[in-house]
Chains A and B, each alone.
Chain A
Amino acid sequence: SQKIEQNSEALNIQEGKTATLTCNYTNYSPAYLQWYRQDPGRGPVFLLLIRENEKEKRKERLKVTFDTTLKQSLFHITASQPADSATYLCALRLYSSASKIIFGSGTRLSIRP
């Protein structure tokens, strides 16, 4: 069956450390993968996109890696801050579907001061 799995447990990180979130997928052929941030009661906010032929993407304190052999993406936030506390969602856009993206269930990240 097709699945997208993210860390089901909430992640608690000390301020200043690097937070690493995982997104694993099975039986999908993604054209690209996106990461979004979602705060309570709000819609997701787009952060980064990485294509299937790219290994790594960076944006300020954010870094995303994409390993299509392992079928895994890692999302890193360096020098984490309490303001980074939110739920982070990964989403796949498939080659077979130009219109929809498929979301994982998200990982809740808490950064403690």
Chain B
Amino acid sequence: DAGVTQSPTHLIKTRGQQVTLRCSPKSGHDTVSWYQQALGQGPQFIFQYYEEEERQRGNFPDRFSGHQFPNYSSELNVNALLLGDSALYLCASSPGGPRQGFYGYTFGSGTRLTVV
């Protein structure tokens, strides 16, 4: 049973460029959340998608946007990259509904983004 799949695993971009990261959730999961993890820190919530809509957003600027497709996969887009956007970007999936997260979230291995 495949877990959460993220691509690419590593990426180097230049300041000002745009990037798209991809996530396929675990089979049977319909909710996808994105997190940013800086070195030595815990993951920070960016936003969550459910039924192709952004359900909740964390404290991130509008440069961060996302999308969920009918097959539940998701993309994270970041525009006008800054050096401070360098981080590990994690995708987490779970079943939706009121007991969301009750059995934990399944995380992918992440995309390591370096902005130079």
- What separation, in Å, do the CA atoms of A101 and B102 have in the docked complex? 11
Q: Which of A51-109 contact B (CB under 8 A)?
A: 89, 91, 93, 97-106
Main secondary structure of the interface of B (DSSP, over half): loop
Residues on B facing A (Cβ under 8 Å): 4, 33, 35, 40-45, 48, 50, 55-56, 58, 90, 92, 98, 100-110, 112
**A contact residues vs B (CB 8 Å cutoff):** 4, 32, 34, 36, 41-47, 49, 89, 91, 93, 97-106
Besides A46-B104, A89-B43, A104-B42, 11 other A-B contacts (C-beta < 8 A): A42-B110, A43-B107, A46-B103, A46-B105, A97-B56, A99-B48, A99-B56, A99-B100, A100-B48, A101-B101, A106-B41
Known: A99-B56, A103-B44, A105-B40. A43 touches B104 (CB 8 A): no
Secondary structure of the A side of the interface? strand
Instruction: Provide the residues of chain B in CB contact with A102, threshold 8 Å.
Output: 45
- The tally of CB-CB contacts under 8 A between chains A and B is 64
A100 touches B109 (CB 8 A): no
Question: Would A89 and B102 count as touching, CB distance under 8 A?
Answer: no
**B102–A45 CB distance below 8 A:** no
B35: which A residues are within 8 A, CB to CB?
Answer: 103
Q: Is the CB of B110 within 8 A of A103?
A: no
Cα distance A45–B56 when bound, in Å?
A: 22
A sample of 16 cross-chain residue pairs with beta-carbon separation below 8 angstroms, ordered by A number, consists of A4-B42, A32-B102, A36-B107, A41-B109, A41-B112, A44-B105, A44-B107, A46-B103, A46-B104, A49-B103, A49-B104, A100-B48, A100-B56, A101-B45, A104-B42, A106-B42
